Amino acid sequence: MSGATAAFVEATVRSATPLALAALGEVVVEAAGVINIGLEGVILAGAFGALVGAGHGGIAGGFAAAIAAGVGVAAVFAVFAVWLRADQIISGTAVTLLAVGLTGTLYRSLYGAAGAALSIPTIGPWRVPGLASIPVVGSGFFNQPAVTYVVYLLAPAIWWWMYRTHAGLALRAVGEAPAAAEAAGVKVGRVRVWAILFGGVAGGLAGATLVLAQAGTFAENMSAGRGFIAIAIVVLGRWRPMGTALAALLFGAASAFQFLLQALGLALPYQLFLSLPYVLTLLALAGVAGRVRAPAALARADLP
């Protein structure tokens, strides 16, 4: 029994890692009053970048290329959403479509229509001495690929930065009262661009996690809606870094639950399990959305 529980915890943390990375980046973006629906495209580009980079430069090359690709896609969004003040929702949707088209075209042209069996280096779990020996949950949380530990450090680091530093205060001011922030000397546009690019780094890392720490390969559209789920996770986490990390863990548990149910061999259609995270997203949003408050200037292109 404890073996099954440990496996469940492990699967929870594994599924939650890319969601948490992407969502933590989006927390910073949304704190600046910008909603990047293109996060889905950022993750997808990161995943593809990881494939190409790892093929040429190993693990390090994979992560570097993933971050570069994520930042690149985020930069396109920043140009339209901040510089040109285009509608954020539609720009973000288009950016995702752009990433789908670019990665699909490049993937087929570089690796052939069949997608050829690919072998790229992947990162295995790294056992944290001591902590991994905690009964039941220890190995689930502390025998994971290094990117998972990045999440553990990133969530409190972002919290500290947002709520305990001057720069973090400026970021939140930009999201809550951009006109006042501008009047106080904060360069609103610049803050938003940097926030979006940071979201690109985190989303690119999330994509790299899918390829380098989990699947070991790339498939077209492999982000499979995780960018949109990450945006829902931010809402569920009430736009706060620690809450968002916990919400990501909840979604990880939903995905892990799907493996658990399948392992039990219930005679239910597998599509039911596969659609579980999306249904859960809807239910979770319905449960919290009315009772939480978004940054006041979120998604408003008309504000400076």
Partner 1 sequence: MSETRGSSRWVALAVIAVFVGGTFALLAGSGFDVVRAAGALVRGAAGSWYAIGSGTLVRSTPLILTGLAVALAFRAGVFNIGAEGQFLVGAAAGTAVALGLGAAPGWISIPALLAGGALAGAAWAWIAAVLRNRYQVLEVISTIMLNFVAAYLVSYLVRGPMQEPTHVYPQTSTIAAAAQLPRFGSTTRLHLGFAIAVAACAVAWWFVRSTAAGFRLRVVGANPSAAAVAGEIDVQRVTTRAFLVSGALAGLAGAVEVSGVTFALYENISPGYGYTAIAVALLARLDAAGVIATGVLFGALEAGANAMQRDAGVPSVAVSVIEASIILVLVALERARFVRRGESAT
304: contact with partner 1 by CB under 8 A: no
3-state secondary structure the chain: CHHHHHHHHHHHHHHHHHHHHHHHHHHHHHHCCCCCCCHHHHHHHHHHHHHHHHHHHHHHHHHHHHHHHHHHHHHHHHHHHHHCCCCHHHHHHHHHHHHHHHHHHHHHHHHCCCCCCCCCCCCCCEECCCHHHCCCCHHHHHEECHHHHHHHHHHHHHHHHHHHCHHHHHHHHHHHCHHHHHHCCCCHHHHHHHHHHHHHHHHHHHHHHHHHHHHCCCCCCCCCCHHHHHHHHHHHCCCCHHHHHHHHHHHHHHHHHHHHHHHHCCCCCHHHHHCHHHHHHHHHHHHHHHHCCCCCCCCCCCCC
Tell me the closest approach of the beta carbon of residue 55 to partner 1, in angstroms: 15
Give the type of residue at 200: G
* Closer by beta carbon to partner 1, 126 or else 270: 270
Binds partner 1 (CB under 8 A): choice among 4, 60, 90, 157 = 90
Binds partner 1 (CB under 8 A): choice among 27, 37, 162, 211 = 37
293: contact with partner 1 by CB under 8 A: yes
Binds partner 1 (CB under 8 A): choice among 6, 85, 122, 138 = 85
- Residues touching partner 1, count (CB under 8 A): 56
Binding to partner 1 (CB under 8 A) within 164-193 occurs at none
104: contact with partner 1 by CB under 8 A: yes
294: contact with partner 1 by CB under 8 A: yes
84: contact with partner 1 by CB under 8 A: yes
Per CB under 8 A, which region of 3-11, 89-97, 160-168, 170-178 contacts partner 1?
A: 89-97
* Closer by beta carbon to partner 1, 90 or else 167: 90
Per CB under 8 A, which region of 11-19, 139-147, 149-157, 270-278 contacts partner 1?
A: 270-278
Instruction: Write out the residues near partner 1 by the rule CB under 8 A.
Output: 35, 37, 76, 80, 84-87, 89-91, 93-95, 97-98, 100-102, 104-106, 108-110, 113, 220, 224-225, 228-229, 231-232, 235, 269, 271-272, 274-275, 278-279, 281-282, 285-287, 289-290, 292-294, 298-302
